[in-house]
Structure 1
Amino acid sequence: MIWFIVFFITVLGICLFIMINKRNAKKEIVVFLVIALLGFTDWISIFLNNKFKPTKLISILMDFVGL
C-alpha cells in the first residue's frame, strides 16, 4: 500500500505541475484535484475494507462549480 501512496502523490504532483504551467483555469485545477483525492480515498477504503461512496460528493462539487 505504501507504493500506491508514493505513486499517487508523485503522479498528482506531476499533473498539477503540468496544469499550472499550462495556465489552466483555477476551477479546472480544483475539480481535478478534488476528484483525484476522492478517488484516492476510495482506493484507500478498498485497501482497508471500509465502504466509501464518493458519488454524492462529486455531484455536489459539479453543482457548486457549475459544470
Structure 2
Amino acid sequence: MGMGVRLVADPPQAGLAPLARPDPHNLPNNHISYMVQWFFFAATALVIYGLALRARLARKDDGR
C-alpha cells in the first residue's frame, strides 16, 4: 500500500498530539549512487550506439 497525501492540522485538534516536524537530516543522501547509475546508463547507450553505427557502416561498405 503506497503512501498517499495526508492532511495534517497545525496546531493539532483537541486531544491529539502534534506531529514532529520533518528533519532534512533524516533524508537519505544517495546522490552519488544516482550519479553512478546515470553515468552507467549513458555509457551503455554510447556502446549500443557505437555498435549500431559500426553495423550500419559495415552494411554500407558491403554495398547493401
TM-score by length of 2: 0.39
Quick check: which one's helix share is greater? 1
- Return the structure number with greater relative CO, CA threshold 8 A, min gap 6: 1
TM-score by length of 1: 0.38
Larger radius of gyration: 2
